[in-house]
C-alpha cells in the first residue's frame, strides 16, 4: 500500500509539473487555468505525502520521489517531443535503479 501511495504522489507531482510547463506556453485565461490545476494537484500530492510519512521512514520515502524526474522526462518526450542525450537517458536509468533498490524495502 505504501508503495502505491508513493507512486500516486509521484504521478500527481509529475502532472503538476507538466501543467506548469503548459502554463509557461500559454497566456491569459489559459495560463491561470493551468496554474490552478497545478496547485490542486500539488495540494493533493502533499496531503497524500503526509499519509505516507506516517508509516514510511523519510529516509526511505523521500528518495522514492526521484521517480518524478523519470516521469517528467518521459512525459516531456511524449507530449512536447523533447530530445534527450544518451547521458540523460543513462542518468534516468540510474534513477530508476535507485528507486527500485529503495522500493524493495517496502
Encode pLDDT of 47-92 as tens digits.
Answer: 999 999 999 999 888 888 888 989 999 999 999 999 999 999 999 9
Q: How many CB atoms lie within 10 A of CB 90?
A: 11
Rg (CA), the chain: 15
Q: Which grid cell sits at 2?
A: 505504501
Query: What angle do helix axes 2-25 and 28-55 make, rounded to 10 degrees?
Result: 160
Per-residue model confidence as pLDDT tens digits over 6-47: 999 999 999 999 999 999 988 788 999 999 999 999 999 999
Of 51, 37, 41, 42, give the one whose Cα is nearest residue 6.
Answer: 51
Amino acid at each position: 500500500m505504501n508503495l502505491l501511495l508513493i507512486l500516486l504522489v509521484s504521478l500527481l507531482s509529475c502532472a503538476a509539473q507538466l501543467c506548469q510547463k503548459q502554463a509557461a506556453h500559454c497566456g491569459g485565461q489559459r495560463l491561470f487555468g493551468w496554474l490552478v490545476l497545478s496547485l490542486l494537484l500539488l495540494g493533493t500530492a502533499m496531503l497524500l505525502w503526509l499519509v505516507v510519512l506516517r508509516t514510511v521512514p523519510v529516509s526511505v520515502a523521500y528518495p522514492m520521489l526521484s521517480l518524478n524526474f523519470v516521469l517528467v522526462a518521459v512525459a516531456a518526450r511524449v507530449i512536447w517531443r523533447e530530445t534527450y542525450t544518451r547521458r540523460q537517458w543513462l542518468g534516468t536509468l540510474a534513477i530508476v535503479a535507485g528507486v527500485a533498490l529503495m522500493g524493495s524495502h517496502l
